[in-house]
Amino acid sequence: MSGGRPTQYLPMSGSEAEMIRWMYTFNDWTRPQVIEAVRRLTDEQLRQPGAIKGGLESGSVFDTLVHLVDVEESWLARWMGTPEDPGPDPVKYATLDSTAKQWEIVDQTRDAWLAMLTGDNLAAPFRAYTDAEGKVTTVPLWPALFHVLNHTAHHRAEIYEALTRFGVPPQIEPDVLDFGTWQAGVRKPFTSVYLSYGAES
């Protein structure tokens, strides 16, 4: 290592593609939970400015949710090499229902694309972004994929914190271990309560 930075990214053998697909399946699993939790807010609470300190746009829960979904959509366009919207489409992101629908579409499109990824794809150079000075930063594809997962988790936590302050905390808090145990058909860790989401299947 030099200057505290790795000299190269980890190589990808191929099995990592399955791990990344699994992590995005977890991300998909959290989507309806987030929407269900947000629906417990009144419209006034949903759009209340400053509900999330230092948040995006007005700092409302709605603006934060729109940002979360729009970023997932934008990064997917970059990965797929398709045109990227300059900002949230005012029609797609007009209401909670339309935003929820757009999030579902993004998930479905991304899952179909992820299904085709190989280890070589993950290790291939990817132009991540261009900074304000016009400098292009290029990284392998796989850290960009993890970047989006981390970004979504960050804003999901902000939304849940705001819900708690509004007095309507989420009934289910997405957790990777809970997802894994639900997939395996076993009980949640340390409890005797089955996850309500997906219990029918």
Joined tokens for residue 128: 């991540």
Per residue in 21-53, pLDDT (tens digit) is 999 999 999 999 999 999 999 999 999 999 998
User: Above 80 in pLDDT, residue 192?
Assistant: no
Residue 196 confidence class, pLDDT cut points 50, 70, 90: very low
Q: How many C-beta atoms lie closer than 10 Å to residue 88's C-beta?
A: 20
In a domain, 88, yes or no: yes
Q: What does pTM read for this prediction?
A: 0.82
Mean pLDDT within 125-131: 79
pLDDT of residue 87: 86
In a domain, 138, yes or no: yes
Domains of the chain: total: 1
List the CATH number of the domain containing 108.
1.20.120.450
Pick the residue with more confidence: 109 or 81?
Answer: 109
